Structure 1
Amino acid sequence: MALILIVEDETTQRFAAKFSLEKAGHKVIEAVDGIEGLAQARARLPDVIACDVVMPRMDGYEFLAALRGDAQLAGIPVLLLTSLAERADVRKGMRSGADDYLTKPFKFAELVEAVQGLVGKRVQRESQAARSALTDLEAAMQSQKNELSLRYEVQLLNELNARWTNKDQANVQLQFADAVLVLVGVFAGPLPASPGFSEADEMRAAYQFARDQLTLFGAQHVLPCGNDILAVFPADVAFQEPGEAVAHAWRATESLVRAVPVQALARGPVSLVQVADPMLGGASTQLVGGSAYLEAQVLRDIARSRGWAVVAAEVLRADLESANALAPGEEGSDAQEPFFRVR
């Protein structure tokens, strides 16, 4: 049984949500807006919060920002309940720190399922500190299989990666003059075996987990590169704020760092090419080039040799400080080295 806080100004919706969750075995407390919700959260420390977006006095985004700014409450999983189905509003909620969302109208069975997924996620987070990195990866993958649904695939993944899955295109090439790269060493060592799963199943699940997390936090392209996974966050997009690509890349890195201990961040030009081979029945190969990718590979090797979880190119230091990835002057390496360790 978990303690669930429902923050919803509409009486009928709040009553029905409470009834459904209590029927599923949870204990439920209520609040009619964000201000009352914060007071309830501080007094009761719920396991999960289900919060409406459009409310008087303090809306769901403001409530979420206040929650994440409170050290005592920042780790509580939040499920956003919204009638704003546009992709931009969904992304806004996820960038603000939400763990999941449901679009109204929804079935209350879906609410129960989503809440139970977040309860499991919180239990998993609390146990991760006592586990090894490989055990963390297995637990995270199993949790994400249930928690991340086709909603993310349809709304966030298909549109972004359509040009990579179009079988009618023999060759696709993309060039970014300025992009932030996250190189994730998912397959740096042997994956833990699970009953009923082959090594190929484990590799596929590891890639799926990392791809979902990276795409969720704004990566426009995620692709396997040998034993690594590469995520591309374009920085030369006109509508982005300065440093937004770095902030998104860091949020993705944070979401993976406990489960995947070796990650490298670099910035610069990168080229992506998909080449189809008619001699192999149209099977395609994805090629990556550019100075940023070469630098990311070097940084990955440095991280492994020094036992660091994350290493970044020196050019990213100021933006990572702005994104609260590290305090000014904290961590780092010799001043002569063009890279530094990220705490």
Structure 2
Amino acid sequence: MALILVAEDDPGTLKLLSVVLQHQGHDVVETTTGTQAWDLIQRLRPDLVVSDINMPGMTGFDLLGQVRDDIDLALTPFILLTSLQERRDMRQGMRMGADDYLTKPFQSRELIDAVNAQLGKQALRAASQEMQFHARLHDALEAQARDLGDDYEDKLALALSQQWPGTHDEGRGAPEVQGVLLCAGILAHDQWAATLPPPALAHLLKRFHESCGDTAHLFGASHMQFTGDGIVALYQDPSPTLATSPALRAIKAALGLQKSVAALRAFIARQHPGLALPTFDIGMAVHCGPVGLMRLEGLIGGAAQTVPVGQTVVDTLAIQRHAVGGGTPITVTVPVLRSITGAVVAAQRYLLALPHREQPIDVCRIEALTL
């Protein structure tokens, strides 16, 4: 219940006030002078003050004025007691900010009703302040999240721009390099597109692209190309920061993306509780061969970027989209598998027919990794 300070110089009235309020379950602090009441109010910060007007030293009016002038105590509910029947004393108290007054002698029910009314108002005021605080906090966190997201994207774009070579080779054709490609994309993307409204689908794709971009960058991808429902990352040898082979780095990145599926599923569940949605999964393919590097102007922040293109990219995308196997499959071509012999466990090897190729391509699905 509430902590109530009672200031009354008449012993009988003070006893009556205390007994009635304690019977209601409140904690009561008693004092007989206004000066002592002010000291107790500053130290204890009671939920409510009940004060007589005529007290020695400091009157109830003086005490009320002290409370209302203190920025930390100004909203404390204050009930005045008076034995004077003159209306000017009641009006003066209300003008000074008293919340209510009782005329002595008073009935116990009158005191209880007055106290309950003021404590109820205080509770409503506190609840309103709490709601306003949480609203402001929510807005601040939303703004912070937007700022952090924008800052993160700017830093990632700068890091990728600095890492990608060939952005200043004006007038040259697209150079060709030998490398390993990792392609990752959302499985059953057409079902997601048909189920989610465009803004929700865009939010999901943004989260997925961020996860893919972070992981590919972490394992030393030299170039990246974002597709509608996925990403293509190029790994070259040597890496300026990582000693492992490009094939091993691509496989490790694929494993990292495989583990990120649970976090993406949790994100979807939070965003769309109770909505019947397809099971979220991604498919990945790792392939190697010659890759062209094409310069594009102004993709991120106005800076020129270089993206991987060519037949090897087309083949890798097709393998990712047409590979068989449930769960979150990682499918590699046999040349990649041979370059990392002993580092992976092959689950299923088969010939994969691709719509754009006359001959099938030899691939292997990986389930367990020993990296």
The reply to whether TM is greater than 0.5 is no
TM-score interval (norm. to shorter): 0.3 to 0.5
- Structure with greater Cα Rg: 2
How does the TM-score come out when normalised to structure 2?
Answer: 0.35
